[in-house]
């Protein structure tokens, strides 16, 4: 790659895409392109084909996806499966057709079996049943990983799949109906605090263990995969450290400054009991996370209040 390489970031307004854009810009990359969903509907095969023919990107980062928490996924498995497959299939197909040099496909740790041994290794893919609450999203992402692997093996293409753990940071989704656990908690504690420290009720038992990675660290992993020729097709991206949902809630409560009661709704689903990533493969090649969790949450809460 050189600093003038034409890099298309799909989903450049989202949390991950915007972080990748910032990271590349800070390093002096000058030829970044992006389109909003109103300018280019990635689910539309013909529109994506026309865009690639016109723009001829050399490098593509696929940070575009329909994402959501347990509630959103449970409500619309069909939509999550179909829309994500359309988006990634169009991007992958046109990248092949137009001779893109490098393609980074971003997924999620939910591609691994629900009861896989911990920490999750890349080789555990397709060794058991998935978590039912987000099966649609996971199957879509698994198909993307397999497409990239096949292209690498059949055509010698540099298509790499990066599977992040739970991400958080600026430009996250804080909508209570469709957000992930951390932004949902942050908003609940914030609103309860400004409403006189009213009680906060959270889903589940608080016992599941989760790992969290700041999106700026994720962006650095994407840049690392672009600037280096990684030998494998699939890499986990995370911190290798987890904590319970209850510990997370207490940490966010402290940072937000909420002084009310914390209640747990045990009738709501917990999701997977534990999802810790084995990040030894990427670490052995020279990348590791640098932003501590408490510092990352404080930065995110500052961003949330300003925005």
Encode 23-56 in three state secondary structure.
HHHHCCCCCEECCCCCCCCCCCHHHHHHHHHHHC
pTM: 0.94
Catalytic status, residue 168: no
d(CA 1, CA 108): 26
In this structure, the chain runs to a length of 307
11 is in an annotated binding site: yes
CB of 10 within 8 A of CB of 63?
Answer: yes
Cis, peptide link before residue 119, omega less than 30° from 0:
yes
User: Look-up: residue for tokens 């739970």?
Assistant: 166
Question: Which residue is catalytic, options 29, 112, 137, 235?
Answer: 137
Distances (CA, A) of 216 to 31, 68, 221, 245, 291: 20, 20, 9, 22, 8
Over its length of 307 residues, how does the chain's per-residue pLDDT go in tens digits?
Answer: 899 999 999 999 999 999 999 999 999 999 999 999 999 999 999 999 999 999 999 999 999 998 777 777 778 889 999 999 999 999 999 999 999 999 999 999 999 998 999 999 999 999 999 988 889 999 999 999 999 999 999 999 999 999 999 999 999 999 988 788 999 999 999 999 999 999 999 999 999 999 999 999 999 999 999 999 999 999 999 999 999 999 999 999 999 999 999 999 999 888 778 889 999 999 999 999 999 999 999 999 999 999 9
d(CA 235, CA 109): 10
Domains for the chain: give ranges and CATH numbers: 7-172+212-240+276-291 (3.40.50.720)
Ramachandran angles phi, psi of 9, nearest 5°:
-105, 105
| Closest by Cα among 190, 191, 164, 167 to 179 | 167
210 is in an annotated binding site: yes
165 is in an annotated binding site: yes
d(CA 103, CA 211): 26
């Amino acid at each position: 790659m050189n600093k003038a390489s034409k890099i298309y970031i799909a989903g450049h307004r989202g949390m991950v895409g915007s972080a990748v854009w910032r990271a590349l810009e800070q390093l002096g990359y000058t030829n970044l392109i992006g389109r909003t969903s109103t300018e280019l509907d990635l689910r539309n095969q013909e529109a994506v084909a026309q865009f690639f023919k016109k723009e001829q990107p050399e490098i593509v980062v696929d940070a575009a996806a329909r994402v959501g928490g347990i509630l959103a996924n449970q409500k619309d498995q069909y939509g999550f499966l179909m829309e994500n497959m359309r988006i990634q299939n169009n991007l992958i197909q046109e990248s092949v057709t137009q001779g893109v040099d490098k393609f980074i496909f971003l997924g999620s740790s939910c591609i691994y079996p629900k009861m896989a041994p911990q920490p999750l290794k890349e080789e555990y893919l397709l060794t058991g049943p998935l978590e039912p609450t987000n099966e649609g999203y996971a199957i879509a992402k698994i198909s993307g990983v397999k497409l990239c692997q096949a292209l690498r093996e059949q055509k010698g293409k540099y298509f790499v799949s990066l599977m992040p753990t739970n991400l958080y940071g600026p430009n996250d989704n804080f909508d209570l109906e469709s957000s992930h656990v951390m932004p949902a908690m942050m908003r609940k504690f914030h609103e309860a605090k400004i409403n006189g420290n009213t009680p906060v009720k959270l889903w589940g038992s608080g016992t599941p263990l989760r790992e969290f990675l700041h999106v700026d660290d994720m962006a650095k992993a994407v840049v690392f995969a672009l600037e280096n020729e990684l030998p494998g097709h699939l890499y986990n991206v995370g911190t290798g450290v987890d904590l319970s949902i209850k510990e997370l809630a207490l940490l966010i409560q402290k940072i937000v400054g909420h002084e009310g009661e914390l209640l747990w709704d045990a009738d709501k689903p917990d999701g997977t009991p534990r999802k810790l990533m084995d990040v030894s493969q990427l670490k052995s090649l020279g990348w590791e996370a640098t932003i501590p969790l408490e510092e990352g949450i404080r930065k995110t809460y500052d961003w949330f209040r300003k925005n």
